[in-house]
């Protein structure tokens, strides 16, 4: 690169792109190291908190305000009555071609809950690269087997699952059919003709309240549009070739990407949870690593009248030295309150965020 002094105009965008590439690699390496350090701790925490009823419901109650916007009182009721645990895993971290950015978020529920048949709702996010140069996470709609009259999304998640299945079928047919059907633009125009596409747009328009439910998040696909594993492999191969050229100081061709932008807008319209990526990010980067802090804050809010805990315990530190057992009764009684009061954690302020300076 430019280790020797060079005239100012010698710095090119190529040089900066090369540097950015190295920063990106460093981030991946950091994620791997971080995973090694935290994995045994998360396991240990899971064992401890499994013994505290409503632990995760209480964590969600004290969630950061950005998260609260995605949870309705009815959602909170489901969490309070049926949520058993949350688990976050970087499921590709040990795969040779996997990304440490790929992540699965698993919600475990009471198998006898009154809302749906599912004991586990598992949302998987793959970090993929699209042929237009975009990279980020994509997911697939998760089927929720709602019990009769209990669907908080009023059929939105079902519609997302149906549309996704129809698109897959269409893609498979296109692969066996005419070759020009595989371009992104023509793919998009074909999807808009699917009855499932029209159905979901109609459902979104007529169910504005249902679209506020947290459970629409299980139908989230991507902020960019779905990218298949095959497309991602092809894009990654192209990207690796570019990188090799760049490292050798060779010129790299820019591809034509104009038509893709329209696609993005088009995909957005059928997305039932447009902020799905933000929701995932808050769970993975805030709620999951800081769960005990949020739980302690929830305990504090619950125990306020009893004055059992001092103010100092809400401090951004870990000096909470009470050796009293966690007050299970005060946790469980939350259930009864929920039914009238819904999201009763929303007025309490979240615990101070951890500073990393």
Interface with a second copy in residues 242-261 (CB under 8 A): 242, 251-254, 257-258, 261
| Smallest separation (angstroms) from a second copy to the CB of 199 | 29
Residue 315 as a binder of a second copy (CB under 8 A): the answer is: yes
| Smallest separation (angstroms) from a second copy to the CB of 114 | 23
Residues 131-190 that bind a second copy (CB under 8 A): 132-137
Classify 324 as helix, strand or coil: coil
Residues 205-244 that bind a second copy (CB under 8 A): 239, 242
**DSSP of 200-232, one letter per residue?**
HHHHHHH-TTGGGSGGGGGG--BSS----HHHH
What's the token pair of residue 232?
């991602």
DSSP letter assigned to residue 146: B
Which position among 112, 248, 305, 325 is part of the footprint of a second copy (CB under 8 A)? Answer: 325
Residue 305 as a binder of a second copy (CB under 8 A): the answer is: no
Residue 265 as a binder of a second copy (CB under 8 A): the answer is: no
Sign of CA dihedral 68, 73, 78, 80: positive
Residue 13 as a binder of a second copy (CB under 8 A): the answer is: yes
Which position among 108, 184, 320, 330 is part of the footprint of a second copy (CB under 8 A)? Answer: 320
CA distance 284 to 170: 33
Classify 68 as helix, strand or coil: helix
Residue 110 as a binder of a second copy (CB under 8 A): the answer is: no
DSSP letter assigned to residue 303: T
Residue 20 as a binder of a second copy (CB under 8 A): the answer is: yes
Stretch that binds a second copy, among 11-19, 114-122, 146-154, 337-345 (CB under 8 A): 11-19
Beta bridge mates, 138: 126, 222
Residues near a second copy (CB under 8 A), total: 85
**Residue partners of 192: CB distance under 8 A and separation at least 6:** 266
Stretch that binds a second copy, among 76-84, 163-171, 202-210, 281-289 (CB under 8 A): 281-289
| Smallest separation (angstroms) from a second copy to the CB of 251 | 6
Contact indicator for 294, 351 with CB cutoff of 8 Å = yes
């Amino acid at each position: 690169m430019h280790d020797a002094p060079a005239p100012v105009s010698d710095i090119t965008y190529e040089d900066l792109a090369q540097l950015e590439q190295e920063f990106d690699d460093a981030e991946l390496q950091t994620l791997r190291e971080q995973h090694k350090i935290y994995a045994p701790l998360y396991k240990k925490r899971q064992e401890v908190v499994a013994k505290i009823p409503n632990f995760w419901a209480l964590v969600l109650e004290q969630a950061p305000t950005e998260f609260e916007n995605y949870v309705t009182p009815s959602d909170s009721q489901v969490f309070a009555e049926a949520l058993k645990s949350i688990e976050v895993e970087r499921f590709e971290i040990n795969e040779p071609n996997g990304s440490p950015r790929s992540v699965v978020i698993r919600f475990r529920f009471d198998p006898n809950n009154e809302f749906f048949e599912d004991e586990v709702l598992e949302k998987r996010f793959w970090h993929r690269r699209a042929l237009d140069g975009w990279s980020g996470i994509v997911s697939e709609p998760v089927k929720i087997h709602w019990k009769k009259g209990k669907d908080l999304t009023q059929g939105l998640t079902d519609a997302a699952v149906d549309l996704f299945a129809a698109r897959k079928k269409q893609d498979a047919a296109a692969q066996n059919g005419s070759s020009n059907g595989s371009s992104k633009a023509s793919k998009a125009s074909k999807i808009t003709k699917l009855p499932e596409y029209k159905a979901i747009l109609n459902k979104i328009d007529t169910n504005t309240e249902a679209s506020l439910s947290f459970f629409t998040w299980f139908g989230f696909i991507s902020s960019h549009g779905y990218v298949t594993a095959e497309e991602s492999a092809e894009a990654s191969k192209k990207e690796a070739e570019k990188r090799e050229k760049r490292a050798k100081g060779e010129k790299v061709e820019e591809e034509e990407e104009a038509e893709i932008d329209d696609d993005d807008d088009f995909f957005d319209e059928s997305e039932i949870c447009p902020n799905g990526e933000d929701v995932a990010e808050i769970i993975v980067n805030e709620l999951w690593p800081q769960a005990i802090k949020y739980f302690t804050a929830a305990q504090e809010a619950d125990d306020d009248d009893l004055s059992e805990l001092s103010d100092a315990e809400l401090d951004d530190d870990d000096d909470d030295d009470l050796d009293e057992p966690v007050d299970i009764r005060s946790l469980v009684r939350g259930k009864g309150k929920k039914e009238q009061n819904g999201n009763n954690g929303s007025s309490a302020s979240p615990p101070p965020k951890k500073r990393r300076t």
